[in-house]
Amino acid sequence: MSDRADRRKDRWTTALVVVSIMACGVIVAGLLDSGSGTATVEDAAGLPSYVTPTVEYPVDIPGCATVEPPSEGEAFAMWVGGEQSYDNPRYPWFSALKASAMTAAVQGALPEAVEIPLVSPTESLLFEPIPEYEQPPDVEDDFGGVTSARGPLLRDSSPGSLWLSVSKADRPIPPCVAGELDRRTTLPDGTVLDADDTWSEYDGHRTLSRSVAGYFPDGTWIHANATDENFAEADPGNKYSGTIPLTLDELTAIVLRPELRVSTPVPPGTPPPPASCGSGIGSEDDGPALTRADLDRLNAVLDDAWRDRNIALSKPLGSLQLAEYSDNAVCESVDVTTPGSEGTLRISIEGGYTVPPEPDKYDPSYDPQAAKATRLPDGSVLERREGYTSAASDPGEPAVDEAGRYVTLTRPSGIRVSVSSTSTLPATPLPYELLESLATTPGLEL
């Protein structure tokens, strides 16, 4: 993955952790002074400052019988580790299908004037597996059990972002605290909704934000936060559009969607969430961002190439999507369901590569496998390899043997098309001839 993709992922991930923890009612990392004056953090000369609006106290907040004084912020670190999985027995209310139903509900609740730009599935408001937190020993609240979703939004061409977190909590609803909400609404069924419209400045750059938190009788806690910040933009001068893409009423409509509640069953026929995919180490700085038209073109090429094949797939071969945290590399993973060839067919297309040179058998780094590469008349290099793995999923369980066939085409333009087929024995991967015909399909250019 390129440096640009790493930076993009880091920006999303950092903000996700902060928003998720704030949704649990705690201000973290840098919010160290929230007294009655303008909140400013500047630990040492030359370090960036963090500024939030002045907090008045005492103050009346609509819907609050009592209002507590501004809380003293706390800073601490949390470590997320281990394999993240939708099938976590600690949280039986959540599953892959539940995540898919929740995502569909949020996407369906967006106003017609708001759209999600072309991004990978993970960045399309997909609720992700609940992470395993290693709890700080001196922090009493349990921050586990939270699934989060994120995504960029466009409204009238102005960019912004939406963050959501959903959890099942067994603790009291947070009190009204000065500076943390503008109004509280209690519905007839006992649901409590807290709304806030505010801003913050980091190193002189102001972020506008609106949030709605919902606390439901079944124990569901939902937090939705919309900002004018474009996390895909690296230039601080262009990161903030000045327009939040959602109003408080629109955020409230999202929070009130019944599909987000922990007690709502998954509707029959809900499809599993799309599988994310990555695509190697090509330089993503070498090409412009892809458009939906580009994606449609590439998918049409693959569908035409697959026409009349007597091999059954779980979805059309033309199902490419943007790779994780990328805007100009595509990939997909499709299940092969034909008896005897059951397995997974993967395709990725990306730029920024160099055609491998002719191997020199006298070179100490000589690779016999590379010597088997085929050099095509147009200067492209076609490589093939095979692999076998054997591993037991659990101690004492029999090993699972998997076979794979891998084909890579690198064109003089720098485009690399990778096609692979893997199967659990005794099933057999798809033949090399088929994989090579896909990799060399004309038109698979970014």
Bigger pLDDT: 28 vs 130: 130
Residue 272 lies in a domain: no
Please measure the distance between the N-terminal and C-terminal CA atoms of the chain and give it in whole angstroms. Answer: 17
Does residue 101 contact residue 210 with C-beta atoms inside 8 Å? no
User: Is pLDDT at 87 greater than 90 in this prediction?
Assistant: no
Q: Which is nearest to 161 in space by CA: 113, 232, 104?
A: 232
Task: Look at residue 405 in the predicted model and tell me its pLDDT.
Answer: 96
* Residue 121, both tokens: 């599935």
Question: Which of 97-101, 175-179, 364-368, 386-390 bottoms out in mean pLDDT, i.e. has the lowest?
Answer: 364-368
Q: Do 208 and 154 share a structural domain?
A: yes
72 plus 116 within the same structural domain: yes
* Position 318 pLDDT exceeds 70: yes
Are 64 and 141 contained in the same domain? yes
Q: Does 221 share its domain with 357?
A: no
Q: Say which residues have a Cβ less than 8 Å from residue 391's Cβ, sequence separation at least 6.
A: 399, 400
Give, for 371, the enclosing helix (H) or strand (E).
helix 368-371
What is the pLDDT at residue 30? 30
In a domain, 267, yes or no: no
Do both 197 and 55 map to the same domain?
yes
Assess if residue 275 is contained within a domain. no
Note whether 68 and 117 are same-domain residues: yes
Mean pLDDT of the chain: 85
- Residues of the domain holding 324: 284-439
User: In this structure, what DSSP letter does residue 339 have?
Assistant: T
Peptide bond into 395 cis (omega under 30): no
Would you call the peptide bond into 129 cis, given omega within 30 degrees of 0 as the criterion? no
Look at residue 155 and tell me if it is in a domain.
yes
Report how far residue 272's alpha carbon sits from residue 97's, in angstroms, rounded to the nearest whole number. Answer: 5
**Is residue 239 located within the same domain as residue 299?**
no
Residue 348 lies in a domain: yes
Token output for 386: 């095979």
Q: Is 57 helix (H, G, I), strand (E, B) or coil?
A: coil
* CA nearest neighbour of 334 among 315, 353, 351, 320: 315
What's the domain count of the chain? 2
pLDDT at 11 over 60: no
- In eight-state DSSP terms, residue 65 is S
Please report whether residue 273 resides in a domain.
no
Q: Which of 226, 260, 294 is the last residue of a domain?
A: 260
Clarify whether residues 132 and 246 are in a common domain.
yes
* Residues 399 and 428 sit within 8 Å (Cβ to Cβ): no
Give the C-alpha separation, 284 to 329, whole Å.
Answer: 7
Asked if 250 and 292 sit in the same domain, the reply is no
**266 vs 259: CA distance, rounded Å:** 8
Query: CB–CB of 325/276 below 8 Å?
Result: no
Same domain for 230 and 320? no
Span of 139-143, 294-298, 325-329, 383-387 with lowest mean pLDDT: 139-143
Which pLDDT value is given to residue 49?
85
Distance, in Å, from the CA atom of 136 to the CA atom of 403, rounded to the nearest integer, reads 43
The residue out of 227, 244, 260 marking a domain boundary is 260
pLDDT at residue number 99:
97
88 domain-assigned? yes
User: How far is it, in rounded angstroms, from Cα 6 to Cα 40?
Assistant: 30
| CA–CA gap between residue 58 and residue 183 (Å, rounded) | 15
Regarding whether 331 and 411 lie in a shared domain, the answer is: yes
380 and 250 in a single domain? The answer is no
CA distance 230 to 11: 10
Q: Is there a domain that residue 247 lies in? A: yes
Residue 42: HSE in the Cβ half-sphere, 13 Å Cα cutoff: 14
